[in-house]
Amino acid sequence: MTHYYFDNAATTPMSSTVVTAMSQALATDFGNASSTHYFGRLSHHLLDDSRRVIANSIHAQTDEIIFTSGGTEGDNTAILGTALTYGKNGKHIITTQIEHPAVLKTMQFLTTLGYEITYLPVNKQGLVTAQQVKAALRPDTILVSIMTGNNEIGSIEPIAKIGAVLKNHQAIFHTDAVQAYGILDIDVQQMGVDLLSISGHKLHGPKGIGFLYMNEKVNLEPFMHGGEQEHLRRAGTENIPSIIGLAQAVKDLTPVNKKAKREKLQNLKQILLTDLTASGVDFAINGPEPEQALPHVLNIWLKGVPSNLALTNLDLKGFAVSAGSACTAGSLEPSHVLIAIIGDEKAPQISESLRISFGDQNTVESVHLLAQAIAEVARDYLG
- Cα–Cα distances in Å, from 145 out to 79, 227, 325? 8, 29, 19
* Distance from C-alpha of 44 to C-alpha of 203, rounded to nearest angstrom: 24
* SS3 state at 204: coil
Output b/e per residue, 257-270; b: 16+ Cβ within 10 A: ebeebbebbbebbe
Is 327 a catalytic site residue? yes
Query: Within 13 A of 348's CA, how many CA atoms are on the CB side?
Result: 8
Beta-carbon count within 10 A of 276 CB: 20
- On the 0-12 / 13-18 / 19+ scale of CB atoms within 10 A, 27 is exposed
* Distance from C-alpha of 175 to C-alpha of 198, rounded to nearest angstrom: 9
Kindly state the DSSP code that residue 62 receives in the 8-state scheme. G
* Distance from C-alpha of 168 to C-alpha of 182, rounded to nearest angstrom: 30
Beta-carbon count within 10 A of 37 CB: 9
Given 309, 327, 347, 369, the catalytic residue: 327
Contacts of 315 (CB under 8 A, 6+ apart): none
The secondary structure of 306-356 as a DSSP string is -HHHHHHHHHHTTEE-BSS-GGGTT--SPPHHHHHHHS-TTSGGGGSEEEE
Catalytic residues: 327
